C-alpha cells in the first residue's frame, strides 16, 4: 500500500516535448481531480523553476526513464508519482513481453531474458526484434503457425500495427525505405488472433488506497478512419487482487487477472529497480489460426492511460463512500462531436492529434445495478 504523499503539491507532467494538446489537457484534468480527492493543492503543469525544491506528487504522461531524470523530478519511489519508473526505455514498452529468436539476436542494454522465461505461459506466441537482420528469421519461425501481427514497440492505441500472412508479405515490409529504422527501434512480432476480446486488469496505489480492477476495452475509429482505443469498462474494488477475485467473475476474466499477476510479478523480479504505482495490463483472448482459444498479456502500462480517468472516478466513489465494496466505471473516447451523456463527467473536449475532434468522458454505475 502506498502511503499518503504528505502535503505534497500534485503536478501534471507532460513528458513528451511534442505532446498533442488533448494529452496535455487530459493530464492536467486528471491531476487536478486527483489533488481534489487527496485534499492536496494542484500545482498546474510541472515547471523546473517554479517547482524547484518543492515536494511534488507527479502525474506524468509517460513512464519515467532513467535514474538521472527521476532525480531531476524528485522521484525516489512509488510514493512520489502516479505512474512508473524504469532504468531503460524498452522496459516500459511491448518489447519485454517476448524473448529473442536466439542468444545471438541483438538486444538493448539492460535486457533481461529472465522476464520472457517467467511470462512464457501467460503471453501469446511472439518474438521481439531490435535489428533488421534478425527480423526475417523471427517472422519465418512464427509464420509456420499462422498470421502474425507486427507492432512497433513505441506505438500506442493500436496505431502502426500490421497483420502479415506470408513470408512474401513480410519481405515487402523489409524492403521499405524505413525498415532499418523501424526494426532498430524495436518491433514485436506476435501471433494474430481472431474474435478478440481485450481485457484490462490493473492496480493503482494512491494516497494510502489500493484500487484493483478488471474489465474490457473496445475500439473506435478516429478522424482518419483508423481503428484506435475507444474506451474501457472497469469493475473496481478497494483492496488487492484477492478482493477482486472474491467477486463473482466469469472464468475468462479470472484467467486474465491471474495472467496479469504473473506478468506483474515478473517485472518486479527481472527488473528490480523498476517501480510503479499505476500498473495496467492488456490481455487478449481469442482464437488462433487453428481455431483454438488463446489468452495472453499483450503489454503493460505504467503511466497515465486510456483507463486512468475511470480509475480516478472509482477512487472518487470510494472516497465518497469508504464502505463501498465495488463500483463500475467507464472511460469513453469518441471522435464524434456530441452532447455529453446524462451523469457523465467530461475529461476533455477539443482537437486531437490525428483528428479534428475528440471527446473524453467518464461514467459511474453501482456494482449491483
Tens digits of per-residue pLDDT, 71-122? 999 999 999 999 999 999 999 999 999 999 999 999 999 999 999 999 999 9
Does residue 268 contact residue 244 with C-beta atoms inside 8 Å?
no
Contacts of 73 (CB under 8 A, 6+ apart): 13, 46, 56, 58, 64, 80, 81
Query: Of 83, 64, 87, whose CA–CA distance to 279 is shortest?
Result: 83
Output the nine-digit C-alpha cell for 113: 531474458
Is the Cβ–Cβ distance between 130 and 183 less than 8 Å? Answer: yes
Q: What is the mean pLDDT of the chain?
A: 94
Query: Is 215 a member of any domain?
Result: yes
State pLDDT tens for residues 196-244. 999 999 999 998 889 999 999 989 999 888 888 899 999 999 999 999 9
Segment 270-322, tens digit of pLDDT: 999 999 999 999 999 999 999 999 999 999 999 999 999 999 999 999 999 99
Query: What's the number of domains the chain is made of?
Result: 3
What was the pLDDT predicted at 228?
A: 87
Q: Do both 176 and 206 map to the same domain?
A: no
Q: Are 83 and 242 in contact (CB under 8 A)?
A: no
**Is 292 domain-assigned?**
yes
The domain boundary residue, chosen from 166, 192, 218: 192
pLDDT at position 156, please?
A: 73
Of 231, 252, 238, whose CA–CA distance to 367 is shortest? 238
| β-strand partners of 290 | none
Find the helix or strand (DSSP H, E) in which 30 lies.
helix 21-38
Express each pLDDT in 37-47 by its tens digit: 999 999 999 99
Q: How far apart are CA 52 and CA 73, in angstroms?
A: 9
pLDDT at 16: 85
> In the predicted model, what is the mean pLDDT of residues 5-17?
85
Strands (E) across the chain are located at 9-13, 42-45, 56-60, 64-65, 84-86, 126-129, 148-152, 162-164, 187-191, 194-206, 209-221, 227-238, 275-276, 278-287, 293-301, 326-334, 345-350, 358-366
Task: Evaluate whether residue 174 is within a structural domain.
Answer: yes
- Residue 5's pLDDT band, with cuts at 50, 70 and 90, is very low
- Is the same domain home to 239 and 114? no
Does 285 share its domain with 345?
yes
CA-based nearest residue to 112, from 300, 262, 263, 272: 272
The answer to whether residue 280 is domain-embedded is: yes
3 located within any domain: no
Residue 66: inside a domain: yes
Q: Is the pLDDT of residue 53 over 90?
A: no
24 and 138 co-located in one domain: no
Q: Residue 169 domain-assigned?
A: yes
Q: What angle do CA 283, 117, 264 make, to 5 degrees?
A: 45
pLDDT-based confidence at residue 17 (cuts at 50, 70, 90):
confident
Residue 210 and residue 350 in one domain: yes
Query: Helix, strand or coil for residue 125?
Result: coil
Cell numbers of 268, please? 518486479
Structural domain span for residue 113: 93-122+125-192
153 and 184 in a single domain? The answer is yes
Residue range 239-254: mean pLDDT, rounded:
97
Residue 138 has pLDDT above 80, yes or no: yes
pLDDT for the residue numbered 1:
38
The confidence band for 157, taking pLDDT boundaries of 50, 70 and 90, is low
Give the CATH number for residue 276: 3.30.470
- Same domain for 233 and 352, yes or no, is yes
27 and 346 in contact (C-beta within 8 Å)?
Answer: no
HSE, side-chain direction, 13 A CA sphere, residue 69: 14
Same domain? 351 vs 329: yes
Which of helix, strand or coil describes residue 127? strand
Do 78 and 133 lie in one domain? The reply is no
Above 50 in pLDDT, residue 3? no
Same domain, 230 and 331: yes
Amino acid at each position: 500500500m502506498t502511503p499518503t504523499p504528505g502535503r505534497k503539491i500534485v503536478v501534471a507532467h507532460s513528458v513528451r516535448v511534442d505532446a498533442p494538446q488533448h494529452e496535455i489537457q487530459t493530464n492536467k484534468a486528471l491531476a487536478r481531480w486527483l489533488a481534489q480527492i487527496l485534499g492536496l493543492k494542484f500545482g498546474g503543469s510541472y515547471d523546473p523553476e517554479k517547482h524547484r525544491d518543492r515536494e511534488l506528487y507527479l502525474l506524468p504522461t509517460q513512464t519515467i526513464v532513467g535514474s538521472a531524470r527521476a532525480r531531476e523530478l524528485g522521484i525516489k519511489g512509488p510514493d512520489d508519482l502516479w505512474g512508473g519508473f524504469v532504468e531503460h526505455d524498452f522496459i516500459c514498452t511491448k518489447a519485454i513481453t517476448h524473448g529473442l529468436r536466439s542468444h545471438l539476436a541483438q538486444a538493448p542494454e539492460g535486457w533481461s531474458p529472465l522476464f520472457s522465461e517467467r511470462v512464457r505461459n501467460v503471453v501469446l506466441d511472439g518474438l521481439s526484434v531490435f535489428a533488421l537482420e534478425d527480423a526475417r528469421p523471427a517472422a519465418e519461425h512464427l509464420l509456420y503457425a499462422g498470421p502474425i501481427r507486427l507492432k512497433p514497440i513505441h506505438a500506442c492505441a493500436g496505431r502502426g500495427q500490421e497483420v502479415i500472412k506470408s513470408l512474401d508479405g513480410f519481405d515487402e515490409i523489409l524492403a521499405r525505405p524505413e525498415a532499418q529504422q523501424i526494426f532498430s527501434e524495436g518491433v514485436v512480432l506476435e501471433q494474430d488472433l481472431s474474435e478478440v476480446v481485450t481485457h484490462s486488469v490493473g492496480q493503482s496505489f494512491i494516497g494510502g488506497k489500493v484500487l484493483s480492477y478488471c474489465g474490457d476495452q473496445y475500439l473506435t475509429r478516429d478522424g482518419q478512419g483508423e481503428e484506435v482505443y475507444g474506451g474501457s469498462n472497469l469493475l473496481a474494488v478497494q483492496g488487492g487482487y484477492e478482493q477482486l477475485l472474491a467477486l463473482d467473475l466469469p472464468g475468462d476474466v479470472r484467467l486474465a487477472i491471474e495472467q496479469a499477476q504473473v506478468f506483474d510479478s515478473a517485472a518486479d523480479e527481472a527488473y528490480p529497480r523498476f517501480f510503479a504505482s499505476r500498473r495496467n495490463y492488456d490481455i487478449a483472448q481469442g482464437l488462433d489460426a487453428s481455431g483454438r482459444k488463446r489468452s495472453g498479456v499483450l503489454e503493460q502500462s505504467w503511466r497515465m492511460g486510456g483507463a486512468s480517468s475511470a480509475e480516478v472516478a472509482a477512487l472518487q466513489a470510494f472516497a465518497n463512500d469508504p464502505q463501498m465494496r465495488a463500483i463500475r466505471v467507464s472511460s469513453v473516447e469518441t471522435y464524434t462531436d456530441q452532447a455529453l451523456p446524462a451523469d457523465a463527467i467530461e475529461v476533455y473536449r477539443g482537437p486531437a492529434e490525428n483528428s479534428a475532434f475528440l471527446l473524453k468522458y467518464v461514467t459511474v454505475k453501482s456494482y449491483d445495478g
